């Protein structure tokens, strides 16, 4: 007589239930060490929320929208910046140096639903105005074409906040299709992806944790799309988050 597979636990009804699910959750595609780091960070956040008596519905909503991943990545990003690693001390980034905003590959970067909504809200009042593509056909539509500065800088998503470079020349070369060394992401972006992937598994059967492409979102927003249309146009297939996590493991060390 064959044994039946254990049923997945019922939908969590409290934060303790979310933590129990997190203990079994997987960040598909993410290297194990980074998955475990993300689990520790997310569990500590949930434990604090529980001890403070924060509403379960609010915590569940932040997991589903990706806001938890964004907030926790911002926290670890602050810790990295406080330690002033060599990459930051030697950073060549400056206002108007927007070569990293020329999007030749991919879709401009993976962002959460919470970030997508924030970007749309910040950018939609500028619909119809000249955008970054008037400077470079492949530039992010959030750019000002004259100053080459981000028009939604205070509302930019994690992928933009985590990028840095120690070489303007490398960025210029890469903006023309090259593959020069000198630019990359701060480590908090790994936390962001890991926590987001874990959040998706924790919320499985309860809510769908979706991701979006920044390039398409900004493009349709400046062309006048409302929020629902913009989200539909920029929404990723479910597999995109796993692929982004797997790219971390395949990257050269």
Q: Which domain holds residue 126?
A: 15-250
> Mind listing the pLDDT tens digit for each residue in 196-231?
999 999 999 999 999 999 999 999 999 999 999 999
Q: Is residue 234 part of a domain?
A: yes
Q: Which residues pair with 102 in a beta bridge?
A: 139
**How far lies 184's CA from each of 33, 88, 161, in Å?**
20, 11, 11
Q: Is residue 95 part of a domain?
A: yes
Alpha helices in the chain (DSSP H): 15-24, 32-51, 56-65, 67-83, 86-89, 113-123, 158-162, 168-175, 188-202, 214-222, 227-234, 239-250
Q: Is residue 2 part of a domain?
A: no
Q: What is the reported pLDDT for 176?
A: 84
The residues, ordered by sequence, that sit 6+ positions from 68 with a Cβ below 8 Å of its Cβ are 42, 45, 59, 62, 195, 199
Q: Where is average pLDDT lowest: 14-18, 29-33, 86-90, 152-156?
A: 86-90
For the chain, what is the largest distance between any 2 Cα atoms, rounded to a whole number of angstroms?
A: 73
Q: Is residue 54 part of a domain?
A: yes
Mean residue pLDDT of the chain comes to: 91
251 band by pLDDT with thresholds 50, 70 and 90: low
From first CA to last CA, the distance across the chain in angstroms is 49
Is the pLDDT at 111 greater than 80? The verdict is yes
Q: What is the reported pLDDT for 56?
A: 97
Q: What is the reported pLDDT for 250?
A: 67
For residues 242 and 198, the answer to whether their CB atoms sit within 8 Å is no
Average pLDDT of 125-145? Answer: 96
Q: Is residue 1 part of a domain?
A: no
Chain CA centroid to CA 115, Å: 8
Q: What is the reported pLDDT for 90?
A: 83
7 band by pLDDT with thresholds 50, 70 and 90: very low
2 band by pLDDT with thresholds 50, 70 and 90: very low
Q: Is residue 190 part of a domain?
A: yes
Dist CA 71 CA 92 (whole Å): 26
Domain count, the chain: 1
Q: Is residue 147 part of a domain?
A: yes
Q: Is residue 52 part of a domain?
A: yes
């Amino acid at each position: 007589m064959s044994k039946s597979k254990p049923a997945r636990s019922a939908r969590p009804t409290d934060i303790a239930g979310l933590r129990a699910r997190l203990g079994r959750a997987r960040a598909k595609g993410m290297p194990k060490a980074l998955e475990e780091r993300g689990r520790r960070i997310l569990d500590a956040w949930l434990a604090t929320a529980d001890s403070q008596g924060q509403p379960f519905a609010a915590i569940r909503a932040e997991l589903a929208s990706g806001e938890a991943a964004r907030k926790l990545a911002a926290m670890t990003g602050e810790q990295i910046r406080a330690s002033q690693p060599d990459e930051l001390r030697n950073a060549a980034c400056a206002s108007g140096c927007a070569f990293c905003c020329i999007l030749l590959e991919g879709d401009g970067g993976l962002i959460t639903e919470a970030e997508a909504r924030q970007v749309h809200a910040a950018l939609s009042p500028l619909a119809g105005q000249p955008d970054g593509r008037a400077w470079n056909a492949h530039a992010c539509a959030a750019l000002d074409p004259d100053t080459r500065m981000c028009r939604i800088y205070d509302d930019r998503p994690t992928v933009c906040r985590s990028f840095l470079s120690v070489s303007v020349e490398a960025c210029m070369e890469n903006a023309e299709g090259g593959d020069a060394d000198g630019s990359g992401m701060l480590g908090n972006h790994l936390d962001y992806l890991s926590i987001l992937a874990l959040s998706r598994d924790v919320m499985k059967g309860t809510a769908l944790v979706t991701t979006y492409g920044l390039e398409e979102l900004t493009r349709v927003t400046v062309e006048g799309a409302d929020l629902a249309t913009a989200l539909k146009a920029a929404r990723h297939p479910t597999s995109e988050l796993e692929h982004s996590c797997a790219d971390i493991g395949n990257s050269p060390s």
